[in-house]
Amino acid sequence: MGGERIPSAEEESSPEETSTFLENDAHQRRRSLVYSQILQSYDDVRIRTNALEKAKSRILSYTPGAWIEMSGGMKFSDYNVPETTSLILVGPKGSGKSSLINKISRVFEDDKFAPERAQVSYNLSVGDGTYFLQEYMIPRGSTSFCLYDTRGLSDVSSDNMQMLKHWITKGVRHGELAIRNSDSPSIRARMKCKARQSGYNSSKTRLVNFVIFVVNGLSVLKSIDSCDDGASQFYIQTIAEMFCCPYLSFRDDMPVVVVTHGDLLSLSDRARVRVHLGEHLGISPGKQIFDIPESCGKATELTIIDMLRYSLEHADRNLPCKGWFLDKGRVVPLMACIFLLIILWLSVASTHIYRVHMRRAHPKVHTDFPPEFHIDWHAIRHLW
């Protein structure tokens, strides 16, 4: 004990410095733990591949509303269940949305040699990319759920917000042209020319039930390792800004995230990407971020099925209720309220007609009702 060195006043840390050090240390420990769990999850998926067919059959047997959680005393008939559950894919240009749709479709195709359904742009500087919304039923010929391929997000935040707001609030329609305010006149003219040839104006509009957010894992990794590269940092900033767009969330449920191009990265880098995205987007990297590389295999197929299961379950969980509104803690059917209002209107109308008739038949007779017969509209304003 006598040989123990006592730190000098200059060496002693302030309470604030000590607190910061402990917080940073705890953060690093959590990050290391999550990173280890992500690495372990790749082995877990390979072990679970023996249950691939069973997991696939659950998706194939899905019908809209099948996974509704009957909570709060609600019944299946209380929900507005769509004919087809619609999942929309959004993400930056070149993130791999069209390729992902082809991979998802191929998981459920009996013919593994069938041509790709979605058009993939391999040289974005030459091709136009996806300008028209494209609807793909999964599996082909089914009506249970569909995927919508969309135009990539731009570098202009206002354009993205306007486009996302339109899709989520107004619905999506197969063949609809997605034009931005920042599009040049030449792009507008070329796309409108293509639109006149498409003939999709009569296609059905579908409300979006859940969002799949697609990002390029290679671009995310560049933003991690290139702190001084403004372009790389801009990519992750755009992702974070658009991911937090309120239109993409359904109540408390934020979009599911799919990381593509993982086959170009090492397994450790793929884990780093998921941890980094989880920290920036505020979601669980192990439960809400799915790594789906370009390579095929049972592990990739099972990851696709897990992602679809997550998306469909959350789509059903956030289905809107039928026309109900809340009145002083009681839930009242909208149709019942409308019926009550019609009865009140008929009562007022019949009273007025009766008074007019009595005045004409007996002009000298006082036909006004006493005040107690008059309807106090202010007192029953809550019914409106």
286-336 residue pLDDT tens: 999 999 998 889 999 999 999 999 999 999 999 988 864 444 344 445 556
Mean pLDDT, to the nearest integer, of 193-204? 69
CA–CA separation, 151 vs 144, rounded Å?
24
Query: At 191, which helix (H) or strand (E)?
Result: helix 185-198
What are the structure tokens assigned to 39, written together? 């690495």
| DSSP codes joined into one string, 330-355 | EEEEHHHHHHHHHHHHHHHHHHHHHH
68-97 residue pLDDT tens: 988 878 888 889 999 999 999 999 988 999
- The more confident residue out of 26 and 123 is 26
pLDDT band at 25 (very low <50, low <70, confident <90, very high): confident
37 burial type by CB count under 10 A (0-12 exposed, 13-18 middle, 19+ buried): middle
Question: What average pLDDT is seen over the chain?
Answer: 83
CA–CA separation, 350 vs 352, rounded Å?
5
- Cα of first residue to Cα of last residue in the chain, in angstroms, is 81
* Collapsed DSSP state (helix, strand, coil) of residue 166: helix
Query: At 139, which helix (H) or strand (E)?
Result: none
Could you tell me where the DSSP H helices lie in 209-266? Answer: 217-225, 230-243
90 burial type by CB count under 10 A (0-12 exposed, 13-18 middle, 19+ buried): buried
Q: 82: closest CA among 166, 39, 143, 149?
A: 143
| DSSP codes joined into one string, 30-91 | HHHHHHHHHHHHHHHHHHHGGGHHHHHHHHHT--TTTT----TT--GGGB---SSEEEEEE-
Check: CB of residue 216 under 8 Å from CB of residue 95: yes
Check: CB of residue 327 under 8 Å from CB of residue 382: yes
What are the structure tokens assigned to 279, written together? 């920290």
Check: CB of residue 311 under 8 Å from CB of residue 212: yes
Q: Is the pTM of this model over 0.85?
A: no
Check: CB of residue 172 under 8 Å from CB of residue 86: yes
pLDDT of residue 214: 97
Q: 152: closest CA among 124, 175, 173, 110?
A: 124
What are the structure tokens assigned to 66, written together? 């099948």
pLDDT of residue 330: 42
Residues ≥6 apart with Cβ < 8 Å to 228: none
What are the structure tokens assigned to 349, written together? 């109308």
Check: CB of residue 51 under 8 Å from CB of residue 175: no
Query: Helix 230-243 to helix 217-225 angle, to the nearest 10 degrees?
Result: 120
Query: At 135, which helix (H) or strand (E)?
Result: strand 134-138
pLDDT of residue 333: 55
331-347 residue pLDDT tens: 445 556 566 677 777 77
Mean pLDDT, to the nearest integer, of 255-262? 96
- The more confident residue out of 364 and 268 is 268
